[in-house]
Amino acid sequence: MAQLRDLVPADLPRLAELEQVLFPTDSPWSEAIFAAELASPFTRAFGVVNTDNVLVGYCLIALRGTVEDAEFELLTIGVDPSEQGQGLGKLLLDTAVEFVDRHHAPFLLEVRTDNVTAIRLYESRGFVEVGLRKQYYQPSGADAFVMLRQPSVS
């Protein structure tokens, strides 16, 4: 069974490896980029490990703005293709949504316009399309929808 845990510096090589597999044409994050985000006090980073304790999924979110006027951004999320279809992406996203909801803040993300599976997942969690960023992903030139989830009122 998969287990959720915080990401640590020892995960950097695996994170960069997964990024290369998942986002090869969209400037995948390097170990250095992940290291900078893990070191940031404004970033929350967690992952999922399988029964062999191998990192198979990850999610990083960041606080934007001030504490009084906060919003969060989904920086990156991904699941190893060999582990997809088991609900791990939902687990990661739900964990992020619960964290953001505790702060009563809006939650923003960008997603490739052709990533229908991800868009459906985001919509199922209350995200709505609020904009379009032309040629957002480089070097592929793919467009991105900007999606927003307002704070939960529960």
Dump the DSSP string for 11-33. Answer: GHHHHHHHHHHH-TTS-PPPHHH
Q: What is the pLDDT of residue 153?
A: 56
For residue 43, count other CB atoms closer than 10 A to its CB.
17
- Nearest Cα to 19, choosing from 82, 78, 74? 78
Note whether residue 125 is domain-resident: no
Note whether residue 121 is domain-resident: no
- Nearest Cα to 121, choosing from 93, 84, 99? 93
pLDDT less than 50: residues of the chain: none
Note whether residue 61 is domain-resident: yes
Q: Cβ(56)–Cβ(2) under 8 Å?
A: yes
Note whether residue 64 is domain-resident: yes
Note whether residue 52 is domain-resident: yes
Range(s) of the domain holding residue 12: 3-109
- Structure tokens belonging to residue 78: 């991904």
How would you list the strands of the sheet with 107-112, edge to edge?
A: 3-6, 43-49, 55-64, 71-79, 107-112, 142-149, 128-137
Q: What is the pTM of this model?
A: 0.93
Note whether residue 54 is domain-resident: yes
Q: What is the pLDDT of residue 83?
A: 95
- The model's pLDDT over 9-47, given as tens digits with 9 standing for 90+, comes to 999 999 999 999 999 988 899 999 999 999 999 999 999
Return the CATH number at 21. 3.40.630.30
Note whether residue 143 is domain-resident: no
Beta strands in 7-137 (DSSP E): 43-49, 55-64, 71-79, 107-112, 128-137
| Count of domains for the chain | 1
Note whether residue 17 is domain-resident: yes
Q: Cβ(136)–Cβ(106) under 8 Å?
A: no
